[in-house]
Amino acid sequence: MLWIKSFHIIFVASWFAGLFYLPRIFVNLAMVEPGSVAERQRLLLMARKLMRFMTLLAVPALGLGLWLWMGYGIGSGSGWMHAKLAVVVLLLGYHHWCGRILRQLERNESHRSHVWFRWFNEAPVLMMTAAVLLVVVKPF
């Protein structure tokens, strides 16, 4: 079980790295000067590759988490686990939202400011904090 838990933590941490960095690329895209085609294309390429990579990291993170929960019964029937699962659902929604934003940026349909994207970038920090506190402290 410790191997599974270790790899779950590794994949979750790696997934979060993408969730932290992709919105920073969105900030940079929102700040690209009109006419800077090469810069915009380079940032879009980086964003597409990161989105693909973080999606590949999310799959084993979720699979290993389910294995720990359902296979070993970690957190079964506990209030903290239900709250953590709610955070995971929020993270999946955020991940999906990032994908939608990326597609909008590729079509040049996003008119959000770099300030909006800076605030958008704070959400995974809050969700990670909540998840870690729930798992470590187990407040209920």
Query: Can you tell me which residue has the tokens 């915009």?
Result: 40
Q: 94, exposed or middle or buried, with CB in 10 Å at 0-12, 13-18, 19+?
A: middle
Q: How far apart are CA 21 and CA 135, in angstroms?
A: 24
Angle at 12 between CA 50 and CA 103, to 5 degrees: 30
pLDDT tens-digit series, residues 112-126: 999 999 999 999 999
Q: Check residue 45 and give its pLDDT.
A: 98
Instruction: Concatenate the DSSP letters of all residues of 14-28 into one string.
Output: HHHHHHHHHHHHHHH
Q: Check residue 120 and give its pLDDT.
A: 98
**Do the Cβ atoms of 38 and 101 come closer than 8 Å?**
no
Structure tokens at 15: 């997934």
Q: Check residue 76 and give its pLDDT.
A: 82
- State which residues of the chain have pLDDT below 70: none
